Amino acid sequence: MARVGFLVDGFNLYHSLRQVGAGAAPAGARWLDLRALCDSYLPAIGRDDRLVRVSYFSALAHFREAGHPGSLKRQAAYLAALRATGVAVHLGRFKRRRLRCPHCASPWDRQEEKETDVAIAVTLLEDFAGDVYDTAVLVTGDTDLAPSVRAARRLYPHREVSFLFPVGRKNKELSALVRRSFTIGPGRYERHQLPSPVIGEFGRRIAKPAAW
């Protein structure tokens, strides 16, 4: 019986959820029960395997609030709901970067997510070193994590790293790094939704945002 941990790239998954919501699937799939979704893949990973940890990595998008009022509150509600269901939440940050148009040299600002990829990489290696689980499943399609996967496999050859690609995020380069990879089917998002409200610490009721 192997112990399994999932490390979830929050924004990679979020953009997949938005993509599904814009297509044939219902738009209200963002209130995702991550723990239940991960648990549903255990039979594919190993029949007797057990889920021991789900870690979620993201950053608070303060910069979106001006153009999308209430977005920060909705994000905070989801993070609170994840914590209430036993998901470990790790938050990075956004940093503004000044860029210039290559044609006219006009300046413009872009917000870049910082620390998330590094946090996933560090957590993967720390959890293997601490014997937290035997199999790590990375829920992402971001190739920036390729070096950390190579390092984990080199340093811990007796442990396994797999990928669970969000909808629309399957990546051949990442698949080639591991023995097994899986792709989330669109119907999985719809089937694994949190209740509303989620009951948090001290009986706090965490309601699903109306827009979700």
Rounded Cα gap, residues 149 and 124, in angstroms: 8
Mean pLDDT on 120-133: 98
Do the domain assignments include residue 63?
yes
Q: What is the pLDDT of residue 61?
A: 72
| Residue 165, in any domain of the structure | yes
What is the mean pLDDT of the segment spanning 21-37? 75
Please tell me the predicted confidence (pLDDT) of residue 68: 53
Q: What is the per-residue pLDDT for 60?
A: 87
Is 28 within the bounds of a domain? yes
What is the overall mean pLDDT for the chain? 88
The verdict on residue 20 lying in a domain is yes
pLDDT of residue 20: 76
CA distances from 97 to 90, 110, 148 (A): 23, 5, 25
Cα diameter, the chain: 60
> How much of the chain exceeds pLDDT 90, in percent?
71
Count structural domains, the chain. Answer: 1
The residues facing 161 across adjacent strands are 136
DSSP 75-87: HHHHHHHHHHTTP
40: in domain: yes
Whether the Cβ atoms of residue 44 and residue 51 lie closer than 8 Å to each other: no
Structural domain including 50 reads 3-206
Query: Do the domain assignments include residue 104?
Result: yes
What average pLDDT does range 102-125 have in this prediction?
74
Is 107 strand, coil or helix?
Answer: strand
Q: Is the pLDDT of residue 196 over 90?
A: yes
Instruction: Name the band, by pLDDT with cuts 50, 70 and 90, for residue 32.
Output: very high
Of residues 185 and 175, the one with the higher pLDDT is 175
Q: How many CB atoms lie within 10 A of CB 135?
A: 19
Check: CB of residue 87 under 8 Å from CB of residue 206: no
Q: Does residue 91 surpass a pLDDT of 60?
A: yes
The enclosing domain of 44 has a CATH number of 3.40.50.1010
Segment 137-161, tens digit of pLDDT: 999 999 999 999 999 999 999 999 9
Quick check: is 212 in a domain?
no
Alpha-carbon distance of 161 to 159, in angstroms, equals 7
Number of H helices, E strands in the chain: 8, 10
- Of the two residues 194 and 63, the one the predictor is more confident about is 194
- Quickly state the pLDDT bin for 185 (edges 50, 70, 90): confident
Q: In one letter, which amino acid is 156? A: Y
Q: Which residues pair with 112 in a beta bridge?
A: 95
pTM of the model: 0.86
Predicted confidence band at 108 (pLDDT cuts at 50, 70, 90)?
A: very low
Q: Is residue 120 part of a domain?
A: yes
Residue 92 predicted with pLDDT over 50: yes
pLDDT bucket at 25, cuts 50 / 70 / 90: very low
